[in-house]
Amino acid sequence: MSSILLFVLIVVMLAAIGFAGWWFYGTLISFLGEKGAFFGTIKEGQFKVARRGGINVLFFGKTRGQVIDEQTGEVTELAPGTAPKPAGYFERKFGVRWIGFYPWYSIYHYRFRWNKWARPPQKTDYEIIPKDEVVDSVYFRAPYALVLRDLETSERLELTVEIVFTVKIVNVNTALFLTSDWLANTSAQVTAAARDFFGLRDYNDLVKMQNEINSKSVQGNVSEFVEAMKSLNNKGFGNDALPVKFGVMIDDISLLSIEIGEPKGDLAKSTHAKYVAEREADAVKAKAEGEASKILTIANAEAEGTRIVGLQKAAALKLLHSALGRKDGSQIGILKLSEALAEARTQTVMLGGNASPIIGVNSSKGGGTP
């Protein structure tokens, strides 16, 4: 019996050692992957670059529906009906990719500056938050905020515009190594195109755009702005298009706000003053029309009430006139009866043993209420 128990204890100890060893092995690989030594961590929607002696040797990563060329860094859509490349052993088990022996092989790191549109803790409104970090990957698709200052309209009205544009990477090698700063350069292209766009618009166009922004509409001038920015994917602003020059493309763009500042020059000031005066006049007119409509509604209601009361009096007199046994149903007889009741200051006429009230008949000459 003791030998069986000893055997069971030995098996349990070996299993525990094996489990601990496997746990330590997995933890070590994951740690090295995060540090970019021997392994590189693979995360959905991100691409990384393995280098040896300053030379790119491997582009890798994954994003649903896309495939990256491991030699050129080009990112393309996965052909319909085509299965993605099977994941390797380390990716299946630990979510990492073997890149080579450290320190000869390592993951490329670079400094990245961008603006993030987010809501800070304990605040209700979203804000543009500057970010500056050292990163080891590039997102396939991500939104970036941009503040466009010192723009001008055709009337030289100064503008500050806030936008969020979503960028897709189409070639990692071009974006990271064939341009100094792909996001800064893309932002410069967007700014130049926006300057041209707003330079052809006037004050009325801006107000329409503000209304569209407030109503969350992507029509009219806002739609034209979006199309103008996306056209950078097909034609360059003085140079090649964005995918060729910077390895990126604008996937989406949203206008957050348009702030109209002080006008520049006499023409702009006169235009601004004229527009403000017109808007104030419209406001006064709208208020006056609202008051007039209110007065008319009250007057109509009072007139209708007077007509109804008059009809009620006439009907009551006619009934009483008939009850008194008068065969003459003429208006003259009814009128005389009304005057007689008014002089008597009463609303009740005795007919046998019953009383019949006539509501409001003598209201024009005093008397009580029913």
Domain covering 110-263 assigned CATH 3.30.479.30 in the classification: yes
Mean pLDDT of all residues in the chain? 76
Distances (CA, A) of 118 to 20, 71, 149, 187: 42, 36, 20, 19
For position 219, what pLDDT does the model report? 74
Q: Is the pLDDT of residue 368 over 80?
A: no
pLDDT in tens, 171-202: 999 999 999 899 999 999 999 999 999 999 99
Q: How would residue 220 be classed by pLDDT, with cut points 50, 70 and 90? A: confident
| Percentage above 90 pLDDT, the chain | 38
Residue 146, both tokens: 């941009």
pLDDT of 325-361, one tens digit each?
445 545 545 555 555 555 554 444 444 333 334 333 3
| Tokens found for residue 151 | 């723009």
Tell me, what's the pLDDT at 32? 83
**Phi first, then psi: what are they for 164, rounded to 5°?**
-125, 120
Q: State the alpha helices, DSSP H only, in the chain.
A: 2-35, 89-94, 172-177, 182-199, 203-214, 220-230, 242-246, 265-323, 331-344
Question: Using a CB cutoff of 8 Å and minimum separation of 24, what contacts does 332-340 make?
Answer: 338/313, 338/362
Q: List the structure tokens of 44.
A: 């959905």
Residue type, 137: S
| Domain boundary assignment for the chain | 21-107, 110-263, 274-357
Helix (H, G, I), strand (E, B) or coil at 210: helix
Structure tokens at 319: 């009934």
Percent of the chain past pLDDT 70, that is, above it, reads 63
pTM, to two decimals: 0.66
Query: Does the pLDDT value for residue 362 go beyond 70?
Result: no
- Dihedral angle computed from the Cα positions of residues 37, 41, 42 and 43, in that order, rounded to the nearest 10 degrees: -140
Query: Positive or negative CA dihedral for 319, 320, 324, 327?
Result: negative
Q: Per-residue pLDDT tens for 221-268?
A: 889 999 999 999 997 555 679 999 999 999 999 988 999 886 655 555
> Confidence band (pLDDT; 50, 70, 90) for 170?
very high
pLDDT bucket at 119, cuts 50 / 70 / 90: confident
Q: Which comes out higher in pLDDT, residue 331 or 126?
A: 126
Stronger pLDDT, 159 or 300, i.e. the higher one: 159
Assign 79 a pLDDT band (cuts: 50, 70, 90).
confident
- CB-based burial of residue 83 (10 Å sphere; 0-12 exposed, 13-18 middle, 19+ buried)? exposed
Q: What is the reported pLDDT for 197? A: 94
Neighbour count for residue 166 (Cβ, 10 Å): 14
Q: Give the CA distances from residue 214 to residues 57, 208, 327, in Å, rounded to whole numbers and listed in that order.
A: 49, 10, 73
For residue 143, is the peptide bond before it cis, meaning its omega torsion is within 30 degrees of 0?
Answer: no
Note whether 36 and 96 are within 8 A (CB): no
Q: Is residue 112 within 8 Å of residue 134, measured between CB atoms?
A: yes
